[in-house]
Amino acid sequence: MSDLTRLHPVALQATVGADAPLAPAPHARRFYVPVRVKYVLVLMASIAWTALSVKLSMRWLHELSQPIGFVPALIIIAFIAYVPGFMNAFLIGSILADRRPARTEHPGTPEVCVLLACYNEGPNIGETLASFARQDYAGEVEVVVIDDGSTDDSLAIAKAAALEHGRPGLRIRVLEQARNGGKSRALNRGLAETRQALVITVDGDCCLRADALRKLVGRFLSDPAGTVAVAGAVLVRNSRENLLTRGQEWDYFHGIAAVKRIQSMYHGTLVAQGAFSLYTRAALEHVGGWPECVGEDIVLSWGLLKTGARIGYCEDACLFTKVPASLRQFSRQRQRWSRGLMEAFARHGSLLLKPRMTTLFIWWNLLFLPLDLVYTLAFIPGLVLAMFGVYWIAGPMTLLVLPLAMVWNLIIFRVQALMFRSQSLKVRRNVGGFLFYSLAYTMILQPVCVLGYAKEALGVRKTWGTK
């Protein structure tokens, strides 16, 4: 294990200035099941479920093999039923087994710097900076806005907001890049011009809840030794805009949040997203800062995981972001995410062979490409065939996947709703968005992801903006 994994939490004492150790005394537990034991039990149950699915699908496999052959039929059924079934079973078992340790209060509050890379965020940057003025974090906070050659009025608005919202304990300053050089370059400049041991990144179209910084830092200080980054919870703030944003509200609330929570349970959240995450400066410097690519956050995160470090997740440090409201913006964003995943495999593919629990999720990500391809090129056409009475691909057997998906949605809704209740937040009524998310969202998402993979394979020019 690399030296950077030993930074937490004792190495921060000099920065915090506290005499007492930061690590809390462990609480007594009546019964404790080690995480590795949970992992093995959940994995065995998921494999058993998949084996049952294979047995039940023999008739379907035989019927589909008649027109297209055995191997193509097996590939299609595997990525329509077997792999998604295994994933849903593993997610359900893991979320039921998760017993997240309580965040504890610490005697010191370390200084933090917040790096905010900004490009054409004129309508949003003022409100984002105002949300820092409402933070209840007791330590010193320095917010550094790096305007990356914006062509709108972002720079002027950021400078005005910095003057308006600065106060004792909160310093806001603005750096100007002469021309657009990309998000990674902007963040690395901010890193070079700050000194705090803890570095937080926030996007320029986001608003933080008043306790977001306090809870994010508190989770880092309470997490196991070896933690070098913690992802915050990113939720949707413009979900009432149209059906697409309503669907994305469920994607962020259900899918993304749940997967990050489970990955952190097994000590390896795969993406400390740039929109809201905390890193140790030593860890960032050890891997050379943010890499020059469109998926800088996932490539950075995998670089940290490669060192043996742990990346956590703070489910109740809430930040609200504006998601794409048009199909064009949504397509550009998700293509960028898909290309970022391919960049991560190109640079850190050796993680597939690293012996740790989170390696399962690296393989999981590797399966996204065939999953998206089969869904786009086989399942969607299969739905069209089913409308004409041809049930080779989409038929009665595919309905066996639905009960497990329904159970997963009910469980994660319960977990997320309890988290919201503890925050005095209320889950907004969004039935139309949920129906769209459940029935049609993937029909847009997965073809878009396939387009992103194709562009990366063909070397199409990359940009980091989605506007």
DSSP assignment of 275-315 equals TEEEEEHHHHHHTTSS-SSTTHHHHHHHHHHHTT-EEEEEE
Per-residue pLDDT, 466: 55
Q: Measured between alpha carbons, how far is 100 from 411 in angstroms, rounded to an integer?
A: 16
DSSP label at residue 141: E
Per-residue pLDDT, 11: 42
Tokens 């050379």 locate to 288
What integer is the mean pLDDT of 99-122? Answer: 87
Dump pLDDT digits (tens) for 419-446: 888 877 777 788 899 889 988 899 999 9
Specify the higher pLDDT residue, 288 or 409. 288
Overall pTM surpassing 0.85 (yes/no): yes
Per-residue pLDDT, 28: 47
pLDDT band at 220 (very low <50, low <70, confident <90, very high): very high
Per-residue pLDDT, 23: 38
Cα 53 off chain centre by: 29
Q: Measured between alpha carbons, how far is 11 from 225 in angstroms, rounded to an integer?
A: 10
Report in angstroms the alpha-carbon separations of 91 from 80, 96, 398, 415: 17, 9, 20, 13
Dump pLDDT digits (tens) for 311-341: 999 999 999 999 999 999 999 999 999 999 9
Specify the higher pLDDT residue, 254 or 215. 215
What integer is the mean pLDDT of 19-23? Answer: 35
Per-residue pLDDT, 56: 87
The mean of the pLDDT values for the chain is 88
Nearest to 312 by CA among 416, 220, 215, 235: 220
Tokens 């915090």 locate to 16
Dump pLDDT digits (tens) for 138-160: 999 999 999 999 999 999 999 99
pLDDT band at 464 (very low <50, low <70, confident <90, very high): low
User: What ranges do the domains of the chain cover?
Assistant: 112-353
pLDDT band at 8 (very low <50, low <70, confident <90, very high): very low
Per-residue pLDDT, 419: 80
Strand partners, 150: none
For the chain, the helix, strand and coil percentages under 3-state DSSP, each to the nearest 5: 55, 15, 30
What is the helix (H) or strand (E) element at residue 346, kind and residue range?
helix 327-348
Per-residue pLDDT, 318: 94
Domain 112-353: give its CATH code.
Answer: 3.90.550.10
